[in-house]
Amino acid sequence: MIGNQKARHIFLSLIRRWIFFFFAAEIVFFSITGTNYFSLKNLQNILLASTTVLLLATGETFVIITGGIDLSVGFVVGLSSVVCAKVMVDLEAAGLSQTLSISSGIIAALILGLLPGLVNGLLVANFRVPPFVATFGMYGIAYGSAEIICNNVPVHNLPTSVASMGHGYLFYWLPGKAFTFLSKPENLTRMELKDLISIIPNVTMITFLAIGVFAFILAKTKFGQHTYAIGGCTTAAERAGVNVKNHLIKVYMISSFFASLAGVMYVLRFITGRAPAGSARLLDAVVAVVIGGASLYGGTGTILGTVIGALIIGALEIGLVNLAIPTYNLHIAVGCILILAVLVDQFSPELVHRED
Amino acid sequence: MKKIIIILLSLFLLMSFAFSANAKSLKFAFMPGIADPFYFTMEKGAKAKAKELGVQLIVGEFPKAWGPEYQVPILKALVARGDIDLLFTAPTSTEALIPVLKEIHDSGIPVITVDTYIGDGDYSKPSKYSFPLSYIGTDNFLGGQTVAGALAIMLKGKGKVFLENTNPDTSSVINREKGFRAGLKIFPDMELVGVEYCLDVQETAAAQVSAALQKHPDLAAVFGVNVFSAQGAYQAVARSGLQGAVKIATWDATQTLIQALKKGEVDLILAQMPAEMGALCVEWGVKYLKEGAKIPRKVIPGFFIFTKDNVNDPEAQQYIYK
């Protein structure tokens, strides 16, 4: 009987971690059927291509755990990318050094990016506007503002070092000859360039650094505990002494911060700021959070799950391109995984509660 | 367990044989700019030529919308296959694609840009964007001038015109605009009253042209620079009931636009030669890789003007995008 229960427990916890197996199976499948899918270059591509979804989904995880949703993030990416690029261009034109213009652009975008979150949070917490409505309103406001700032024209002529930052890697390795940090070894011949191995894109490093910090905050700090508490039961959390209003505002600001960070990463990667920059990725981000095991009713979810959820989508997208299969199949596949995720969530309530 | 491992190993062996068997033929990759009839036609032309020359052509996913954020991830995934000998692509931004294509070029894959280019498109002078082998595409400036001239003749040299453009950071359409402006200057009584950018969204184009019609009730003509802006423009004109009164000039001979021309909703279409562009990329690519031929840094296929008078001519049919 005890053995039986133990087996059952193992079985259930395996089901709960199905996305890890799914992700692994996906990588194995594409590695066998694809061409050079399992290569450093391609795996780094998956991480790079998932940048926006990873960042948006991390912020969204906080909001979804509190039982809310943040639909504004898609266009906050665009707003932040436009502000970031515009500040860089204007300051450089005003005669500032590249370093100064670039860092001012990034800081300006990140600070301004907190604003939509602050407003969302105030609306949801203090004025009891449903999150769906409040953030959907902000979605339009952010998009319109971005269009006004850039005059409906993508921002161009950025300082030249933006490209080397955004397309740079942490390490470069020329087997047997050179190993450099942050910049390519100098004076390479054409053949050597071909053999140069680039390791860890700067953008990916920054992305995972930010995700890591907030994964820690969610999992290990009081702030994280309160986030789960609010999602589990708001009134109970209030009675337990959590300042729910204050906390919700912070949570929406975290989501907004990640969106604006995604905007900055967009500028680094594409050397331009565009108002619709992240809009196509909004739903992918929500999907990643749900695949990652968070419930839209609040109270559950982890950053690790979300990251895996986002990578499942990214690996699938790149895999289909590798196999030269049209990506409308991607939508079908992602749709199926999403529904599967919710079904697993629905039919295993005891698992969810055991985790709490 | 051992048996399984042996079976798996032999399977891998078989697979590697299968792969090495066709590894000898050249493998080209084509990365289009957006999912539209223009690039579909280009793909067809390239595929036909590839088949003829025994080249294996791998076509990247057609991006759902225009912009580096849609194109770059697909492009990177495509070349990460590592088995590609040459890439031809329509860069979706003159600037954002420079470092991306440079990285591909540095990894040993020669790059041809087709339809659109990077930088200012002049690859003959050394610059940070002069590494592509060639730009193969329409002379958009000349095309813009031609459209301006043909419209002026249609309007007897007099009237207000409006330009519906798509993306301010895309080389091809910007040159159409420049050419159109230059062409209009020749006619002192032709006036360009406005330019809008719809970012390849047909609904936006329709709304912008509607607004222009409100503002300028005496508008004589609209030039929509590509499929989306042109189709949006004629929807707006049709909705206002101004068919015939407002002439519409467009670019790209898609089936939809040809039908519209036959119905009198559109008055002039400049047809590019996307199929020929695709075929030229494959042909020059093969010549470069197999014979070491020097490719011209710029290859310019011509174009064809459709009007109501010639749209049914048998010899004109080949210029319709299929």
pLDDT tens digits for range B284-301? 999 999 988 888 899 999
C-beta atoms surrounding A95 within 10 Å = 7
Query: Is the interface score ipTM higher than 0.95?
Result: no
B12 part of a folded domain:
no
- CB distance A319 to A38 below 8 Å: no
Q: For A212-224, how does the pLDDT look when each residue is reduced to its tens digit (9 = 90+)?
A: 999 999 999 999 9
- How far apart CA A106 and CA A100 sit, in angstroms, is 10
B319 part of a folded domain:
no
Within 8 A of A283 by CB-CB distance, chain B residues are none
pLDDT at B110 over 60: yes
C-beta atoms surrounding A194 within 10 Å = 12
**The predicted structure's pLDDT at residue A353:** 45
The average pLDDT across B213-225 equals 93
Picking from B76, B120, B166 by the largest number of A CB atoms within 10 A of its own CB, the best residue to mutate is: B76
Q: Are residues B80 and B158 in the same domain?
A: no
- How far apart CA B293 and CA B310 sit, in angstroms, is 39
Helix or strand or coil: residue B197?
strand
Amino acid at A298: G
Q: Do B80 and A48 touch (CB under 8 A)?
A: no
Q: For A86-101, how does the pLDDT look when each residue is reduced to its tens digit (9 = 90+)?
A: 999 999 999 999 999 9
Q: Are residues B233 and B171 in the same domain?
A: yes
- Tell me the pLDDT of chain B averaged across its residues: 89
**The predicted structure's pLDDT at residue B24:** 66
Residues 6+ apart with CB under 8 A from B213: B219, B236, B237, B240, B242, B246
Reported in sequence order, the residue ranges of A118-250 that DSSP labels E, i.e. its strands, are: 169-174, 178-181, 197-201
DSSP letter string, A33-89: HSSS-SSHHHHHHHHHHTHHHHHHHHHHHHHHHTT----THHHHHHHHHHHHHHHHH
B1 part of a folded domain:
no
Within 8 A of B67 by CB-CB distance, chain A residues are 274, 276
Between B78, B103, B169, which is nearest A154 by CB?
B169
Residues 6+ apart with CB under 8 A from B39: B32, B33, B62, B90, B115, B274
Confidence band (pLDDT; 50, 70, 90) for A38? very high
**The predicted structure's pLDDT at residue B168:** 83
The average pLDDT across A11-26 equals 83
pLDDT at B150 over 70: yes
Amino acid at A233: C
Helix or strand or coil: residue A22?
helix
Q: What is the CATH number of the domain that holds B293?
A: 3.40.50.2300
- Whether chain B has a CB inside 8 Å of the CB on A202: the answer is no
**The predicted structure's pLDDT at residue A182:** 83
Q: Do B78 and A321 touch (CB under 8 A)?
A: yes
Q: Are residues B204 and B113 in the same domain?
A: no
Confidence band (pLDDT; 50, 70, 90) for A312? very high
Q: Are residues B281 and B291 in the same domain?
A: yes
Q: For A167-214, how does the pLDDT look when each residue is reduced to its tens digit (9 = 90+)?
A: 889 999 988 888 888 888 887 777 787 788 889 999 999 999 999 999
B100 part of a folded domain:
yes
The average pLDDT across A304-309 equals 96
Confidence band (pLDDT; 50, 70, 90) for B18? very low
- How far apart CA A274 and CA A182 sit, in angstroms, is 27
pLDDT at B32 over 90: yes
- How far apart CA A87 and CA A103 sit, in angstroms, is 10
Task: Work out the minimum CA distance from B322 to partner chain A, whole angstroms.
Answer: 19
pLDDT at B244 over 60: yes
pLDDT at B228 over 90: no
Task: Work out the minimum CA distance from B199 to partner chain A, whole angstroms.
Answer: 9
The average pLDDT across A238-263 equals 95
Q: Do B69 and A154 touch (CB under 8 A)?
A: no
- Percentage of chain A exceeding pLDDT 90: 61
Q: Do B199 and A276 touch (CB under 8 A)?
A: yes
- Whether chain B has a CB inside 8 Å of the CB on A268: the answer is no
**The predicted structure's pLDDT at residue B4:** 59
Give the domain ranges of chain A: 43-346
B93 part of a folded domain:
yes
Question: Is the CA virtual torsion B241, B247, B251, B257 positive or negative?
Answer: positive
Q: Residue B40 is part of which domain span?
A: 24-138+273-302
The average pLDDT across B38-42 equals 94
- How many distinct structural domains can be found in chain B? 2
- Whether chain B has a CB inside 8 Å of the CB on A185: the answer is no
What pTM was estimated for this model as a whole?
0.82
C-beta atoms surrounding B288 within 10 Å = 18
- Tell me the pLDDT of chain A averaged across its residues: 90
- Whether chain B has a CB inside 8 Å of the CB on A152: the answer is yes
Q: Residue A302 is encoded by which pair of tokens?
A: 């982890």
- How far apart CA A88 and CA A82 sit, in angstroms, is 10
Within 8 A of A322 by CB-CB distance, chain B residues are 77-78, 80-81
Q: Do A271 and B67 touch (CB under 8 A)?
A: no
The average pLDDT across A123-131 equals 95
B291 part of a folded domain:
yes
